[in-house]
Structure 1
């Protein structure tokens, strides 16, 4: 009976959409494809503003750009395929698959309106990345490499960054041996090749500002990266040679891709991306270098990988005290930290996929050619010490009625202190979704590459409960809320006693029309820290509370988009007086009809009393660049961001930004990055050629 009712609903919606929505949707989809770079940038802006962590824009853009050229077939795509659309939650993906399982093939993209947990905003985001096909048998086709070379698409990008004001690190004299060795120009060069969704080649070369390009210490680019990827070749699901990232389970054993964590997408807490991802970023630390393979045999998947690469670090008496992760090699001292330890990693994963469940096992062994021995402090008592570590875990996910249950249990070495994560997401009715998660990470869990849902980095020394809710109470309104209560059973850096914290978040979105949206966000955080200037023998913690408010209005009128935003926060630590931070933002984006020119103009005023009140503001930037600078002090910042398409295959980006301080400061920044004066100018230029 239920299936019959759903079929009638499908027929009704299909007829309605043919009469009303389809002509509009075709025009909209065409427009999206014509401006896919800007479309992805707009999605990323919303995604980045809703996240509390810094997303990897390179991976984000490459995944969606590839999907726009080879859209997912809604009638054939699998769970991991939908996971490429990172703006979808695991619950939304499960509901799409469940709807398709119950009803059969979709007749129109807008049939997604019948899927619980999806609203029109989600569907509009999906439009350029999905399609429909009546063929339900997925073919694992062979690749004709001659055709790939002939019809594959190539892309070359080069970018230059420059700060005209002189930094202290570039002022050289005979007494200062710590001055920067290179010039103040940042530069990178990228080459990309892909053929359909089966063959990819990435090459990246980067030179940070201040690094020597050709001289006594180094010759050529400081960072070189490359990868070759082959997908869906017979039973071979994925093959990557070169640089790649690994992601299994919920991240208790290993996760190198972006971890969203707590955000305005309050029910997006389950990791859906599994396996290996090619690496094309300029980050010099968080990736593997070697070989990775994935095979599919019916309902089972096998993943194996090996990595062998040199890592930066601080050495003392031939022991490694810590890894050096910034990637900067600008001074003679920084250059001595380059490639000082060899790290080898061998690991794998075995996963079985059933109709309503998934279960898998992951494991990896890490070997260093030098012993890791951090300087001993009370807070790092449980940090890993040695040159070999083995970590393994079991992860699972299953659906029971409206509930999607997931989790992972993992341990290191002798497995005496396992870490456990368990969560459930549910859509009891079409307009309400919720998520509940419990985590228990003992201080002894110190897996090298663990990165999962947590308030702190890594997955150790934390226990807590999380509740997230998303509600569509009435038409045009959306409410997101989460509460997270957690504690740290051992000391942390800057906190000399076990502590507890609470996070609360509430966001209201009002979208009466497609061209108008209003947002109000309220956050409150309660923490415990060491009191300033305390000399107590027995540690005493000070309670700290910080509340933040954001109000945002976005309005589109034809080819012009206006964004107004106001941010404010209050911070109180112990018995001290409350301090505040305020910022006002106005941004205008324009797309010309007859000229392939796009530009963004932004003006920001800020008044932030101290560093603890600092405000983070998202900025539009050149392609493949991500910018969310923090602001403290009193001043303003403005920028102009331009894009011009000389031809459909040749595009240029230019961004000029300047920050002025009005708080009588005599310099900006510290140490070698210090600039004399009260202003800082940033210039970025990127050129892209497709062929």
Structure 2
């Protein structure tokens, strides 16, 4: 009993830290994305769960999946445990479920609870009174502003409005509003206003943030609600209109419709889309709302306890024909006013193996497919395998499936990974990915191929300490960046070593440090002006500290980074948090240093202020770089 009580205290004590800080694996996963989009939907959802916790004794698989912290195998094991042994009596029972260790349980604790044993039956009046109203204001210099109001009762109802102004713009030029209802009688989801659509494994449409390869080697399956409310500041990846999902028994049906004015460049009778959302200069202002997009689509699924399958369809119509640049790599890209996609997706669990995948076709008859397996092959060993094959002429507007690049097109590949729990404190993760490109791409003037390998070790000897070591290697072709008329495809190799440790020195004081070294090598075609190869090396060191004095409403944090790289091929990526709903990605190359100071002040129990200042200073030798300052101020009021 003393051991059980000790575990509970350990988990509860760690709750605040894990609700606010990213693990080393999560940091690396985000940094590999190399660009953080303005989509904080998942962060908003998790923050709502800290106030309206998921009851583990009544939650269904969809509620657990919405956390984004559990693999399909872990969810299946949990549901089977609850079905066989009944409701959980205490949170520490989770450690008896295969796949649940202390680190995972600590990450779940801020968002789940045990003790609510009855399935709630809310009236629509409850929907509108049991949630939280939140007003958030954020300022980023120079002159980037965000104002958002949202009412949210997670898993039941959400409504809100948002307005945003980018730096350099004179007016608030992006406005958004939504009303979203979930789990009301036969209505599984009802979306009015702005919403996102996420189908299958992302081959025909996926608008929610989805990460790619990284140390979280088992998180390769795309998982999200098909319809989700949109309350973020990004100006491109969402629909505007209405959608509904109806549920009857094991059947679910979804339909949606959207009409949007998109930014674009119009050249005579042809156009191309412009997705940045910036309207600072006269040229950018002329692109505003230049193209109308009308979208319809739907899904029909059958959902059983251990499997599901669905049919998806989506069609886009544009008022002006879209036309990509006249480049060889765009030979098979979509051109025209009408694009339709259809797909079949599936998922099934058999014993300790989970299968998933999607097969899609665009209206030119070309296909894309992805198939994956997640398996527990031993008590402390999991593996994942994913095969993808995207035709060079496959076309889709908003696809975001697993792959080497952000678009699922012109790629074949096989990904294999393993996760080993050597001891309760030591986990080894690794993957190998081989891929090929049958046609040209933006970065390569010929068909090519490549491979990637990653190995990471995570050591957590106690609840206060985490050590993380990672090695990665990649090799693929890139076009030469010299002045030759013909830019040949040349092999490029990259290697990276990272060592990171975080620990709690005393109550309220956490420190973190990282050392990273990388190397990039290009083997050029020999000629008079070029050597046979080009080498770049990079080095980064950072120290980070966060301190929350006892019995005070303040939290302080700071970071210092020094870096030197041989060029853009060895750019270092560092994720910065410290402010609710915002992760900032620094791309550091050249020579210099960066420091950051941040504070959070809880003026009242439901009123918080954040202030963060960051400055990047480059060496006098790095004349191509200019110093950068960043000031962020944010306030949030809950009521």
TM-score using structure 1 length:
0.87
Cα separation, 2, equivalents of 1:461 and 1:451: 13
Cα separation, 2, equivalents of 1:28 and 1:235: 38
Sort the Cα spacing of 1:477 and 1:657 in 2 relative to 1 into closer, same or farther, 3 A.
same
Contact 1:200 1:229 in 2 (8 A): yes
2:411 counterpart residue number:
462
1:303 counterpart residue number:
254
1:522 counterpart residue number:
471
1:143 counterpart residue number:
124
Counterpart secondary structure, 1:626: strand
Which blocks of at least 5 consecutive residues in structure 1 are unaligned? Answer: 1-17, 163-183, 214-220, 669-677
1:187 counterpart residue number:
145
CA shift at 1:681, angstroms? Answer: 1.6
CA shift at 1:306, angstroms? Answer: 0.8
Matched, 1:545 2:493: yes
Deviations 1:600-651 (A, max 9, x none): 1110000111111110011224222211111011111101011001111221
CA shift at 1:29, angstroms? Answer: 3.3
Sort the Cα spacing of 1:140 and 1:396 in 2 relative to 1 into closer, same or farther, 3 A.
farther
Higher normalized strand content (fraction of residues) = 2
Cα separation, 1, equivalents of 2:116 and 2:443: 59
Across the aligned residues of Structure 1 and Structure 2, the Cα RMSD in angstroms comes to: 2.0
Most deviating of 108-117 and 542-551: 108-117
Cα separation, 1, equivalents of 2:45 and 2:152: 12
Matched, 1:336 2:279: no
The 5 Å alignment of 1:59-138 reads 59-133=41-115, 135=117, 138=119
Cα separation, 1, equivalents of 2:123 and 2:368: 42
CA shift at 1:114, angstroms? Answer: 2.1
2:212 counterpart residue number:
261
CA shift at 1:519, angstroms? Answer: 0.7
1:12 counterpart residue number:
none
Cα separation, 1, equivalents of 2:117 and 2:508: 39
Contact 1:443 1:490 in 2 (8 A): yes
2:8 counterpart residue number:
25
Cα separation, 1, equivalents of 2:290 and 2:116: 56
Matched, 1:205 2:163: yes
Deviations 1:60-91 (A, max 9, x none): 21111222222222233222211111122223
Deviations 1:426-482 (A, max 9, x none): 012221011001001001111112111011111110000000111101231000100
2:394 corresponds, among 434, 438, 445, to 445
2:336 counterpart residue number:
386
Matched, 1:488 2:437: yes
Cα separation, 1, equivalents of 2:497 and 2:570: 12
Matched, 1:290 2:269: no
Cα separation, 2, equivalents of 1:428 and 1:149: 46
Matched, 1:249 2:200: yes
Cα separation, 1, equivalents of 2:404 and 2:64: 27
CA shift at 1:42, angstroms? Answer: 1.0
Counterpart secondary structure, 1:248: coil
Contact 1:66 1:197 in 2 (8 A): no
Counterpart secondary structure, 1:629: strand
Cα separation, 1, equivalents of 2:13 and 2:216: 28
1:689 counterpart residue number:
637
CA shift at 1:342, angstroms? Answer: 0.6
Cα separation, 2, equivalents of 1:82 and 1:603: 37
Deviations 1:117-174 (A, max 9, x none): 22110011111212235747x4553211xx5555542111111112xxxxxxxxxxxx
Most deviating of 543-552 and 86-95: 86-95
Deviations 1:552-582 (A, max 9, x none): 0101021100101001101100032421000
Counterpart secondary structure, 1:500: strand
Contact 1:600 1:620 in 2 (8 A): no
Matched, 1:41 2:20: yes
Cα separation, 2, equivalents of 1:634 and 1:286: 35
2:529 counterpart residue number:
none
2:561 corresponds, among 594, 600, 604, to 604
Matched, 1:580 2:537: yes
CA shift at 1:275, angstroms? Answer: 1.2
Sort the Cα spacing of 1:560 and 1:431 in 2 relative to 1 into closer, same or farther, 3 A.
same
CA shift at 1:113, angstroms? Answer: 1.4
Counterpart secondary structure, 1:63: helix
Which blocks of at least 5 consecutive residues in structure 2 are unaligned? Answer: 524-531
Counterpart secondary structure, 2:124: coil
Contact 2:8 2:91 in 1 (8 A): no
Contact 1:548 1:570 in 2 (8 A): yes
CA shift at 1:92, angstroms? Answer: 2.0
Most deviating of 418-427 and 60-69: 60-69
Contact 1:69 1:196 in 2 (8 A): no
Cα separation, 1, equivalents of 2:80 and 2:417: 22
Matched, 1:655 2:615: no
Counterpart secondary structure, 2:92: helix
Contact 2:58 2:116 in 1 (8 A): no
Matched, 1:594 2:548: no
Aligned residues: 627
Sort the Cα spacing of 1:291 and 1:108 in 2 relative to 1 into closer, same or farther, 3 A.
same
Counterpart secondary structure, 1:578: strand
